[in-house]
Amino acid sequence: MKKQTLYGCLGFLSLLGLVGVFTEARSFLAFFAFAVDFQYFFQPSDEMAEAQVTRAAARAFVAGMLVMAAATLGALLLGRYAPQRALAAGCAAGWGASVAVFALLAALYALRENWGLEHDS
């Protein structure tokens, strides 16, 4: 299976947004943001596109881990949460940060490619 097909499958996470439509849990509506990942099903697969997605994913992972650590430590040091709740809050913040960083970087790399600008590594 091609990597881009796997990235396109991330779009199916947007179906979790329907939980927010049919219930009172409106936080599930944020999952509709994953619908943009369906674009990978329709893009031609080439080495540059895979490298861009890999670069965005690596940077998003690192950003997510740093935000998770900072949020967890911040919650613990401020004494606002019990350790288990601080860890849960840190995991949620890290996950949200990694999704946001990946989406922004993937969009930036795609725009730069469309504009014909030089890529950095």
pLDDT per position as a tens digit, 11-57 = 898 899 999 899 999 888 888 888 888 888 887 777 887 888 889 99
pLDDT at 103 over 80: yes
How would you class 112 by CB atoms within 10 Å of its CB: exposed for 0-12, middle for 13-18, buried for 19 or more? middle
Domain range list for the chain: 1-45, 46-121
Kindly report the pTM of this predicted structure.
0.76
Higher local confidence (pLDDT), 53 or 95: 95
Q: Map residue 1 onto helix, strand or coil.
A: coil
Supply the pLDDT for residue 81.
Answer: 85
Q: Please, what's the b/e burial string for 7-45 (b: 16 or more CB within 10 A of its CB; e: otherwise)?
A: bbebbeebeebeebeeeeeeebeebbebeebeebeeeee
Q: What pLDDT, on a 0 to 100 scale, did the predictor assign at position 106?
A: 85
State pLDDT tens for residues 50-90.
888 889 999 999 999 999 999 999 999 998 789 999 999 99
